[in-house]
Amino acid sequence: MKNPFEQLDRVLEHRVRLQIMSVLIANDSYDFNSLKEILNVTDGNLASNLKALEKEKYLSVSKSFVDRKPNTKYKATEKGRNAFKKHLDALEALLKTQR
């Protein structure tokens, strides 16, 4: 059997990125301010982690205006959903080897 640690997704090993993807997997989409509030992180921390996920094409970004204010929404892509599932499967495999 392969080493389960090798199956973990390096992008999703970061706590905030894993939390972001968890929220996006559980919801159709989420806006920046709501993510910031639910994850209790700073603007800069959230923005840099969203940028890393966007670079990997794990999420898509749509920008619009709501009451003349900019609104940025994020949605998990199919690639992101698959990566998240593989990461969780690797974590489960890792736990099984430790029992």
Q: What fold, for 4-97?
A: Arc Repressor Mutant, subunit A (1.10.10)
How many whole angstroms separate alpha carbon 2 and alpha carbon 68? 53
| Domain extent listing, the chain | 4-97
How many whole angstroms separate alpha carbon 80 and alpha carbon 24? 9
**pLDDT tens over the chain, length 99 residues:** 567 678 899 999 999 999 999 999 999 999 999 999 999 999 999 999 999 999 999 999 999 998 888 899 999 999 999 999 999 999 998 888 876
Using CA atoms, how far residue 35 sits from 14, 22, 31, 39, 50, in Å, is 16, 11, 6, 6, 10
How many whole angstroms separate alpha carbon 76 and alpha carbon 43? 20
Are the beta carbons of 90 and 8 closer than 8 angstroms? yes
Tokens in use for 91? 């974590």
